[in-house]
Amino acid sequence: MRVEAIILLFLGVFFGIVGIVYWFWSYEDAGTAMLVGTSALGFLPGSYYMFWHRRMGHRVEDRTDASIAEGAGDINSFPGSSIWPFVLGMGAFLTLLSLVFGIWLILPGISLILSAAIGVTAESRRGGHV
């Protein structure tokens, strides 16, 4: 995770510097806010990855003396396909659209978010089948 952390932290620093230069060059609020947000999108996952790298140590991929055989075998178990992340995304999208097109869209948005939360919980309790 060290390589990923360094790349993301570099992007955070880069966009932070670009944001500062942009602010003093143009004094424009919207572009500066977007560059600050972009900088945060580099710093947040980068610092998270660096935290876990320091806590867990080097992975096989991070070590320079590792061989290919050390990385062979089962990696982990991956979750099966599920419809609930899509339903949650559509609920969040409708809730966000209610700010633009009218408050009436918040009802289907909230109901989709709640049904996705219930569906994910039920799916995880039953072993992947609802």
- Examine residue 90 and state whether it is found in any structural domain, yes or no: yes
- Examine residue 74 and state whether it is found in any structural domain, yes or no: no
pLDDT in the model for residue 112:
96
pLDDT in the model for residue 42:
95
- Examine residue 107 and state whether it is found in any structural domain, yes or no: yes
Backbone angles phi, psi at 79, to 5 degrees: -70, 150
Q: Mark whether 6 and 59 lie in a shared domain.
A: yes
Q: Mark whether 56 and 99 lie in a shared domain.
A: no
> Element (H or E) spanning 4, and its range?
helix 2-26
How many domains are contained in the chain? Answer: 2
- Examine residue 26 and state whether it is found in any structural domain, yes or no: yes
pLDDT in the model for residue 70:
79
- Examine residue 11 and state whether it is found in any structural domain, yes or no: yes
Q: Mark whether 14 and 54 lie in a shared domain.
A: yes
User: 51 lies in which domain range?
Assistant: 2-63
- Examine residue 70 and state whether it is found in any structural domain, yes or no: no
Render the burial of 19-33: b for 16+ CB within 10 Å, e for the rest.
beebbeeeeeeeebe
pLDDT in the model for residue 122:
86
The pLDDT tens digits along the chain (130 residues) read 888 999 999 999 999 999 999 999 999 999 999 999 999 999 999 999 999 888 887 777 777 888 888 778 776 666 678 899 999 999 999 999 999 999 999 999 999 999 999 998 888 777 655 5
The alpha carbon torsion through 40, 41, 46, 49 (nearest 10 deg) reads 120
